[in-house]
Amino acid sequence: MIAIKGLAMAIAATVGVLILSACGGSEQPASTGTPSPAQATTLRLSALANKYSPTVLDVVAGKSYQLEITDITEPHTFTVTPLGVNIFVSQMRTQTSNLTVPPTAQGEMPFFCSLHVDMGGTLRIQKP
């Protein structure tokens, strides 16, 4: 009787380990920093004190992004003239808009706020 209980406990333990292994899936390595533009889905940009920060945004041609602008205290625009992008930023605190980079875009392009002369930066477009 004791041998049967021991065998049952061993089987239960083995089944438990197998279930936990199956549910756990494969382990993913921990992220060690900012995702590369190919992995990123959100671009974050602060509008604090009428300055965009960061002043360089890395994107990949042909990709779509969520542009999240934070620290908004007054209206702005996010304008990239060569791409025909002119997003009016009017919500207070945070606004999210879609930004699609055409597959033919390349190089560096200025982005700026058409309402504030010193508010801008560079959109750095990488090949896919």
Sketch out the chain's domains with CATH numbers.
42-126 (2.60.40.420)
From 2-6, 38-42, 95-99, 122-126, the region with the lowest mean pLDDT: 2-6
- What is the pLDDT, as a whole number, of residue 126? 97
Write out pLDDT tens, residues 57-114.
999 999 999 999 999 999 999 999 999 999 999 988 999 999 999 999 999 999 999 9
Q: How far apart are CA 60 and CA 31, in angstroms?
A: 20
Q: How far apart are CA 98 and CA 60, in angstroms?
A: 14
Q: What is the mean pLDDT of residues 37-57?
A: 86
Burial 33-55 (b: 16+ CB within 10 A, else e): eeeebeebeebbbebeeeebeee
| DSSP single-letter state for residue 7 | H
- What is the pLDDT, as a whole number, of residue 123? 97
**Which candidate, 70, 126, 76, places its Cα nearest to that of 101?**
126
- What is the pLDDT, as a whole number, of residue 91? 84
